[in-house]
Structure 1
Amino acid sequence: MTLTAKLLILAIAAQVLLTVVVLVLMGLQRVPMVMSGEIAIKDIAVDRDAYPLKAKLLSNNFDNQFQLPVLFYVGALLSLVAGGTGWVEIVLAWLFVLLRYVHAAIHISTNRVHRRFAAYTAGLAVLGLLWLWLVLRLVFFAPSI
């Protein structure tokens, strides 16, 4: 396996780690409230309104880890399966993951919407560039079979 393939797998793992960390933080926030009876199960069975703001932010961010990152996973796996993963994919993948960490940090702390939106939009732009590069590399630049 090439160094670039390994680096791309590490970027995928870093994104998975972010998702797991947010899940654990969400559990640490929500489970004690339910277990202590502070929040009744019937009040959270359908929606999250009964949870305090911090728990809602974590929950919303966890949901967000299954939006743009899904397109990242597909692109990264496509790059790995197609072979020839290069430095362009590596830089764009790691930049995307870094921006996801920034987005998550803003989302679950200060939740300053303008900053969060800027991080989200930057991540979307990087993801768009990654996909554009993949299409160009695999469809137009790849040698014919």
Structure 2
Amino acid sequence: MKAIVLDNKVIGCSASATLANGIVHTAEMNYAGFDNKEVVIVDTDHDVTGYTYAAGQFVAPAPVLTANPLVTPIEFKLLFTAAERVAIKAARADHPLIADFYEIVEDPRLTHVDLNLQSTRFALMYLEEQSLITAARRQEILTGVVQ
């Protein structure tokens, strides 16, 4: 398995991944747009998405659990400001990870979004890395308090 590391944060893992000219190629898709950022591919024996990578070591994020972790899909969207929602919606076309996450959130079979779930936290970290939300806003969103 290959870990895709962007600025010391593992943004994803794939069975195979290569890096050429600032584009990460995986079996699933290609990821581009890593201007002025350091991207490396690192071998790993398991999925380490969301971990940090420094000095040759993967470090799991410390979980910060939300007191009320379950929100409905509409409540989840309302955790964001209108400006954030508009920016995220616009970014979906260029960011497959954002598009994939929101396809799940918008699936009519989904009854709740778990704010303590690692994939939810990773999605919020990715939104932060793309400058769609700030670190402070990510923490506010994780409280589950609707805006």
TM class by smaller structure: under 0.3
Structure showing the higher helix proportion among its residues: 1
Could you state the TM-score of these two structures normalised by the residue count of structure 1? 0.27
More relative contact order in 1 or in 2 (CA 8 Å, sep 6+)?
1
Give the TM-score of the pair, scaled to structure 2: 0.27
Larger Rg: 1
Comparing both structures, which one devotes a greater share of its residues to strand?
Answer: 2
